[in-house]
Amino acid sequence: MPFKPVILWTDALLFLLLAAAVGLWLHMRSRPHLLQPWRNLVQSRQAMGSMVFLAFFMAVGLLDSMHFRLRISPADATQESRYRVQTLSALDVLVGPLRTQTEKTYSAPLATHLFAKETIEAAGDGRTRAYPRLTYGGAHLSDPATEWLPDVLRLIAAGLGLGAILWNALALLVTGVLARHTGREFGQTWRAIWQHREPLPWRTILISAGFIVLLLAPMALLATRYHVLGTDKVGQDVFYLTLKSIRTGLLIATLATLVMLPLATALGIMAGYFGGWVDDAIQYIYTTLNSIPGVLLIAASVLMIQVYMATHPELFDTIEQRQDLRLLFLCLILGVTSWTGLCRLLRGEALKLREQEYVQAAHAFGVSHSRVIRRHILPNVMHIIVIAVVMDFSVLVLAEAVLSYVGVGVDPTMTSFGNMINAARLEMAREPMVWWSLASAFFFMLVMVLSANLFADALRDAFDPRISVASRGKA
């Protein structure tokens, strides 16, 4: 094999989560009442529009989670295969040059020269202080002063053209599949999509996809010749860093939830359902945990993990593994500090459900507690769990940035939005300002969190029982 797959802890958990999601969907497929709120959800323009953006982020995150080590080409065939120490991800391979083409230090977006003056050996009159040319960015231009603008414009135009072609292909594909599926004519389907007469909001989906394609295609073309979003202090491409940050944010947002979910669900339902001393004990646990200010508890835990990891270097072989372990611990800690809210919600709901007549009826049959919880309580609090998970997503992405700033976030060597902002902030005082790392992190984070928030909103509307009660309502 030319490569050896490496499954980091967080990768494994992410794939597990994915498998769980698929499993859940298969389970629900035959249960129309479970599917109903989802059906409302996919018919909401807001949900599907934001979902397209989230899907883009998830795709990047998943690609970046497929890790492997390349084989060092052996000297002779008999030799045992050896692999490089460096762990790469599918994303790294995909964007190849972005990763390897590092400059010396800062350079502005699309620049051809470094951001800092250096002493250069000039051909004629000895040394001058000037902005040296970049090694990779715009290296193909012989005279940047005149060729730069036409070249960039040409690439953008080509990118837009490519984007338009891709997008049209996508739109035609969707229409074609849809037309075959419903047995209508192609033109008819096309009009139905654009007049928003389809049950699914295809128009919104296509427009959102259009945004992404038309933005990414020019960027991709430009990235082959330039550093689209500039380079950072050590000359790394900011666009590459931004893409890498997506996985970190995504993992924190999903894995922390994964950690807290079983804990919050089990304890919350038990507290509400059994009451009595079980309730007292669980309430004591969560009041105690809740009483410690979240940031401080996280800080204290992370500090201790730091010490632990520093004194136990045998736990990991590579930098990636160290980063990964710390990320995992951070998710664990975030999970432990954030389960109390959901736990309290579920406790309240279980307390109400316990008194419901259908639960009483089950007791009248002598149905066991575990069965009552499984069949009567859990399905009826599911919507709360789903809403909480999605609502937490954006909160956690934002929390990562703050924690990294405080110094208790992910490993300082790991690429994340928080570390990017943190690094850029240190250069705030510089004149003129180094704004591009900050701007990239700002833009990508905003799009990610905003889509997550909009999606969460739409999801809450689709799942909130209060609204469905109102629609049942009385005339």
Query: Is 47 in contact with 54 (CB distance < 8 Å)?
Result: no
Which of 316-322's residues contact partners 24+ apart within 8 Å by CB, and which partners? Answer: 318/85, 318/86, 318/87, 319/413, 320/6, 320/8, 320/67, 320/87, 321/8, 321/87, 322/411
Query: Is 447 in contact with 242 (CB distance < 8 Å)?
Result: no
Q: How far is the CB of 343 from other proteins (least distance, A)?
A: 16
Radius of gyration of the chain (CA): 27
Query: Is 252 in contact with 415 (CB distance < 8 Å)?
Result: no
Q: How far is the CB of 361 from other proteins (least distance, A)?
A: 6
The dihedral region occupied by 51, where left means phi > 0, alpha psi between -120 and 50, and beta the remainder, is alpha
Nearer CB in complex with other proteins: 112/419: 419
Q: How far is the CB of 100 from other proteins (least distance, A)?
A: 30
Q: How far is the CB of 98 from other proteins (least distance, A)?
A: 24
Nearer CB in complex with other proteins: 39/425: 425
Nearer CB in complex with other proteins: 142/370: 370
Query: Is 296 in contact with 313 (CB distance < 8 Å)?
Result: no
Nearer CB in complex with other proteins: 50/65: 50
| String of DSSP letters for 341-378 | HHHHHHHHHHHHHHTSHHHHHHHHTT--HHHHIIIIIH
Cβ density class 70-83: b for 16+ within 10 Å, e for less: eeeeeeeeeeeeeb
Nearer CB in complex with other proteins: 131/405: 405
Nearer CB in complex with other proteins: 68/455: 455
Q: How far is the CB of 50 from other proteins (least distance, A)?
A: 10
Helix (H) or strand (E) segment spanning residue 121: strand 118-121
φ, ψ for residue 71, nearest 5 deg: -85, 140
Q: How far is the CB of 430 from other proteins (least distance, A)?
A: 11
Strand partners, 127: 121
Interface positions with other proteins (CB under 8 A) = 32-34, 284-285, 287-293, 295-297, 299-301, 303-308, 310-311, 356-358, 360-368, 371, 375-376, 379-380, 394, 398, 401-402, 405-408, 417, 421, 425, 428, 433, 438, 442, 445-446, 449-450, 452-454, 457, 471-472, 474-475
Nearer CB in complex with other proteins: 118/464: 464
Q: How far is the CB of 127 from other proteins (least distance, A)?
A: 34
